[in-house]
Amino acid sequence: MRADRLVAALLLMQARGRVTAAELAEELEVSVATARRDLEALSAAGVPVYPQPGRGGGWSLVGGARTDLTGLSATEAQALFLLVGPAAAVSPEAKAALRKLVRALPTPFRADAEAAATATMIDPTRWGDRPRGRPELVDLLQAAVVRRRKVHLTYVNRAREETVRLVDPWGLVDKDEVWYLIAGTPRGRRTFRLDRVVAAEPTDEPADRPADFDLTEAWDQVVGEVEDRRSRTWATLRIEARYIPILRDHFGRHCHVDGDLVRVGAPTPLDIARQLAGWGGLVEVVDPPSVQTELARIGGELVARYRT
């Protein structure tokens, strides 16, 4: 939209002092002629911009005039980009707007703003029933990611063993309100669930982060590894169509409808059988036999216990 380009042009002049039509065209990804027309339109609309011909010339704001669109402090700029950054991962429009805002910020603010914009991402797909809510540690860890400072994490693993680790925080992921920290450790990249973090203490020690690190790509790798573990066994079912949404809620992305049949996946046959046992005769497992065997065993145990 032209209005969007005019605002971006004004912000760029405010941040840089002077821009040429060629520079503006490159920044806004338009032709030089279009950029020149935009600059002339600003001047015709009464905005105090003027051209300076000759070598080293360009377009400037008269007397260093400023708009009230970017009167942001460094802290405010970081807060804005922490908020908008995750949306840029899923919205091309938000990504374009974010790029323009970064370029329009005063130079001293840009590095931290760009770090804030890539500190967090959103993955709306569920991984089953998990505790939800924004942990109090999110703000502290976001600040550590932006400032690139190592953090002492007190972490409890699945075996309920508590350890203290010094990590390099690289980024945070909100997966349907279950939060994860991707961090560097002496053993390489690791992923930590924040609901298992007992305490986090930032240090003044600079954190190491790979120059080519991309949070979205790293999370895609994590998801791929987890999904491989979560779908080692697949079962084919028959069930009434009205119950399929409930199955999808239980199995998430490991539930696929194929005509009159439904396929569900889980790590082991027992995991699938446990999910389906409560359905009784409402669901029929067509295959594999391993899931049928586990269901029969569970049924036998229930009959033996509750026979009387």
pTM above 0.75, yes or no: no
Region 284-291: mean pLDDT is: 94
- φ, ψ (nearest 5 deg) of residue 214: -130, 120
pLDDT top residue among 182 and 53: 182
Region 46-52: mean pLDDT is: 71
Predicted confidence at residue 223, as pLDDT, reads 83
Q: How would residue 65 be classed by pLDDT, with cut points 50, 70 and 90?
A: very low
Q: At residue 254, does pLDDT exceed 80?
A: yes
Q: At residue 220, does pLDDT exceed 70?
A: yes
Q: What's the number of CA atoms in the CB half-sphere (13 Å) around residue 289?
A: 0
Q: At residue 238, does pLDDT exceed 70?
A: yes
Predicted confidence at residue 78, as pLDDT, reads 54
Predicted confidence at residue 239, as pLDDT, reads 94
CB 249 within 8 A of CB 262: no
Pick from 92, 250, 86: nearest CA to 179: 86
- How many angstroms separate the Cα of 288 from the Cα of each of 13, 95, 270, 278? 66, 45, 12, 19
pLDDT above 70 covers what percent of the chain?
71
CB 155 within 8 A of CB 206: no
Predicted confidence at residue 20, as pLDDT, reads 86
Predicted confidence at residue 67, as pLDDT, reads 46
Predicted confidence at residue 283, as pLDDT, reads 94
Token reading at 279: 């359905």
Label residue 167 exposed, middle or buried (CB < 10 Å: 0-12, 13-18, 19+).
buried
Q: What domains can be seen in the chain, in order of their start residue?
A: 2-64 (1.10.10.10), 74-117 (no CATH), 123-228 (no CATH), 231-306 (no CATH)
Place of tokens 């911009």: 49
3-state secondary structure (DSSP) of residue 47: coil
d(C-alpha 5, C-alpha 31), whole Å = 12
Beta carbons within 8 Å of 254's beta carbon, 6+ residues apart: 227, 230, 231, 264, 265, 266
- DSSP state, 280? G
The tens digit of pLDDT for each residue in 265-280 reads 888 999 999 999 999 9
In the structure, how many helices (H) and strands (E) does the chain have?
Answer: 11, 13
The tens digit of pLDDT for each residue in 191-213 reads 999 989 999 999 999 999 898 88
Predicted confidence at residue 263, as pLDDT, reads 93
In the chain, what's the furthest Cα-to-Cα distance? 99
Pick from 104, 83, 87, 78: nearest CA to 15: 104
Amino acid, res. 244: I
Sign of the CA dihedral with 271 first, then 273, 277, and 281 last: positive
Predicted confidence at residue 1, as pLDDT, reads 46
Question: What's the mean pLDDT when you consider all of the chain?
Answer: 79
Predicted confidence at residue 152, as pLDDT, reads 95
CB 14 within 8 A of CB 72: no
Residues in the chain: 308
Q: How would residue 168 be classed by pLDDT, with cut points 50, 70 and 90?
A: very high
Predicted confidence at residue 46, as pLDDT, reads 64
d(C-alpha 97, C-alpha 16), whole Å = 18
My answer on whether omega of the bond before 206 falls inside 30° of 0, hence cis, is no
